[in-house]
Structure 1
Amino acid sequence: MTVSVESDAATGRGPATRQGRGPAGTRRRRRGLAAWGFALPFTVLFAVFMLVPVVSSLYMAFTDMRGADLKTPFAVNFVGLDNFAAALTDPKFLQAAGNTLYFVGVAMPLTLAIALLLATLLNSGLTWFRSVFRVGFYAPVVTSIVAVAVVWRFLLQPDFGLVNSALGVLGIDGPRWLTDPAWAMPSLIVMATWRNVGYSMVILLAGLQGIPRDLYEASSLDGAGAVRTFRSITVPLLRPTLLFCAVITGIGYLQFFEEPFVMTQGGPLGATNSVAYEIFNQFGFGNYGLSAAMSYVLFVAIVILSFLQFRLLRPKS
């Protein structure tokens, strides 16, 4: 006991200090309170605008809540999985799901391929103009999607649009881009790719610039061609960046809404109706329970797509 007391006296750390009740413990508590004070505004905003709506929508997905039930939200009937069954058997929702898969299956690989091509070109040359091109390709990303959609709607007008006017000069009779079921979705895919390719290009360009140049020099000395170098060095070292771009692009494209909302209203004949747009329509019709169930079906689709992307593109150890 004497040795312990003398040791505490020599070091200035008594039992109270060791148990967190001394000056050090007080400073630690103050830092903790300060940290919680800084985190409190975000925590409150997250709880009010994110957590509560998510929990409420999950509750609605298992009830028959409609617009008339807003005054008594807890007096609705619990219907279990009926809303999910109704969503998965609704022809309009199934068509919207097919349209969304078509959009994602074509637009996502197209966006990533063009972004990787542009990033590779900018990384291999055009040093003086790299910043200019980077800003030029990224400008559509920061432009309002509604403004972009309105401009593209005028460009694709069948009678006086710039695209068909240019085709007319070449003697080609352009199609009715947004009113023909065969051309409406490809038109939206082209517009979405044009708008989003700049974001992935900038990220991929940063990833390419992080690859050591020594590897390319060694590959060149070994006699490897451009294709072999790209496949053996660029792609493996770029997998984390490709994974990030693929996940972000896939999540965004699965939720595509503004394009059909502004340009086609889901038409013609439902050819551009998306899952997000169908959720919006059902919510507008007052079918809150069904709309919430559809949103969670979309959430599950996002989780599955992200999981598959992680499985396919994760870096190999």
Structure 2
Amino acid sequence: MGDFNFTPFDPSTFILMGIPGLEAAHIWISIPFSTFYIISLLGNFTLLCVVGKEQTLHMPMYLLICMLALTDIISPTLVMPKALGIFWFNLKGITVAGCLTQMFFIHMVSVMHSAVLVTMAFDRYVAICNPLRYATILTNAQIAKLGLVCLIRAVVFILPLPLLLSQQPFCANHIIPNTQCECIAVVKMACGDITVIKIYSLVLMFVICGFDLILIALSYGLIIRAVLRISSKKAHQKTLNTCTTHICVMLTYYTPGLFSSLTYRLGQSIAPHVHTILSHLFLLIPPMLNPIIYGVRTKELRDKVGKYICCRR
């Protein structure tokens, strides 16, 4: 299908160019991207269905896994339908309001995801370091309250960015060399004074990532200290296996995310299409891997998923 007749100077419209320099390969690029997206949806919906149906899994740890699965469904869904519309049908136009809304939800869900990982680290700390008080400290009601706090924190931290950007004039061509409205890409198009926005976005990145990573490191540092005091090798191994699962999930999230953010800000010599591909992999790879990691390494969940699949057959 041909391009929509969006003019580059239309003040109410941005043009999402897709992957710059690789426009001819958009159809081929869409194949792995759509495959990753479908796998992530199937895996995370399976987790939600299994935990929802099995009463024995209605515990804090599995409720947190469900929260993580929800963010893993929402995050790529905010981007992939539009990206596939660009790849398949050349639908490149997006309104300024739509762009800022997409940007807000992408970054809000990302902050929410990070907060859930912190909560999961705290959950493991309490379970291992204070097992006798676990049932009283972390109830299902407490997990629901913590989830609400995570959501409020994400909204409060991210909402100023689109509000500040909505007050900015944008440069003439309105072209974004990406398939999504990332904050950095939108900020680069602003023609007014963006000093406050740049400072706020940098502070936000370091405060959220830095604070969350410090809390996670502190939790696992205390866990490792407690594990080293365990004399039983069997208990020692079981505890380490549980921690390893969560650490794998955290590495799949923070490593590509930090790398992508740093290359945008510091990697001026890196080609634009590399930035774009990295941002997509950041949205697609963790949601695809998380259900696999939990399904393989969490015995109770693995058994219930196996039971559910066998019953369906």
TM-score, length basis structure 2? 0.28
Larger radius of gyration between Structure 1 and Structure 2: 1
